[in-house]
Structure 1
Amino acid sequence: MFAELFGHEVKERRWSALALGIVIGGMGVFIFAITAGMSNAIADLTNGFPPQVTAFIGGGSAGGYAVGELFNLIVPAAMVGYAVVVGGSTIAGEEDTGTMSILTAQPVTRSSIVTSKALALLAALIGSAILLWAGVAIASASYDIGLDLAGLTAICVHLLFLAIMFGAVAVAVGAVSGNPGLASGIAGGLAVAAYVANAMLPLANLADWAKLSPWFYFAGSNPLTNGIDGWHILVLAVIAAVAVAVAYVGFARRDLKG
């Protein structure tokens, strides 16, 4: 029964994940296309900025400003937003639509429900990250952006784990509360607050405090230049694992609606 449930969940997510991957990969093509001839002008404009400001706007990224903007804001916002919305509704949505009773009437345990839905979200995020990698790699080669494939792979891996982490938080809140709006709202609010903290604290000479933000473990080690940081990936993975554990426990103990 688990295989059928997981397969159903994957089918439910496949088109939205495909759309997300195509959109964010296409954004790379679009941004690189319009900025390919402006790299020198942008570099001249940002050369006089303080290092903190340059980092904030993505001017110091490998591949230049266009790559920095893409991976500092646009793509993370899309991936994390998708993870939060889908994660918040993947369990709680069944209760909200009144289909949970049908699901739990099947020969499947509550832990299997959580596992199948979490794995389906994971598969969707992996698929989107792969499409992003492919789109940006093609665009970089086409417009001679000079983005190293190892760095691109590293930033995509870091981004994947960031999205997984916030998606897991949304799954946990949804499993505990049974309210998809609350789950997405809390996880999304945490994501925004963490992003603002990571971006603004260094500008106020409080960079050490930014290490409390999950966004620091996404980009703080500069994976575009330095490659994958195993410790930073581990931090995001541990937070995600704790959130999923909360989802298991909370979902198992609740009186379910719907």
Structure 2
Amino acid sequence: MTTPAGFAENAPDAHPKGLQQAASAVAREGRASGAFCVQALRLKVDERHWLDVSFALPGQTRAFVLLLETHQEALQNQALAQALTARGFGTLTASLLTPEEHTDAEELAWHVNDLGERAATVLEWLEHQPFRGALPLAAVGWRTAAAALIRLAARETQTFYALSCLEGRIDLAGAGPLLALTVPIQLLTSSATDDKPNLAAWPHIGAEKRWEHLPPPTPAGPWPEAIALTCEWFERHLPTTPSSLAAAAG
């Protein structure tokens, strides 16, 4: 029997419990003041492809953030996820390219249609997880994944409270999704970004928006300016009332 798209399983080196059992166990053991992570989770998006995803839940989860990358941003995205979790945001990090595709990431990362389909599958899976609950949702998109995120948010008009696009190529989303966007969006770029395409796309956005030019990130470390602005953006636009981990886990 084939496994349906959107099915997730733990890789051999992952946490031994399933997702729901892991969340419930943390709540039962009374570690609500900390955070727990499930790593090496694989999510099936079609008959041949599995994506690496991981999630973290603080004890008092105020909201949830979906972080989409295309592998080359993994270290910076991990630092961002840790900062968000420390501020009470649950996070789901998803690489939109499979491990086997990483060697061709420079080319495949430009296939925005494929990235968008995978992003939609990740969101659908997240929306059916018990730890998701009714928590408000925001999202981060790195580079070309930002275009896939904008397309997703333009379709799912009631899903996201805010978006943050880091080194984002928002122009690749297309004029239609940019015009249809109603979610507050932040664009963070640096001297490493070619701003010309984004300059042409920016006026199409009628939603609340902010564009900041920052010092470039270090190649193998966090991007502190982007982390601070993304956390601030989400704290501004997301509700602040936390819900307990036990309630989120069901």
Whether the TM-score (by the shorter chain) exceeds 0.5 is: no
Larger Rg, first or second structure (1 or 2): 1
Q: Which has the higher contact order (CA 8 A, sep 6+)?
A: 1
- TM-score after normalising by structure 2: 0.33
Determine which structure has the larger strand proportion and give its number: 2
- TM-score after normalising by structure 1: 0.32
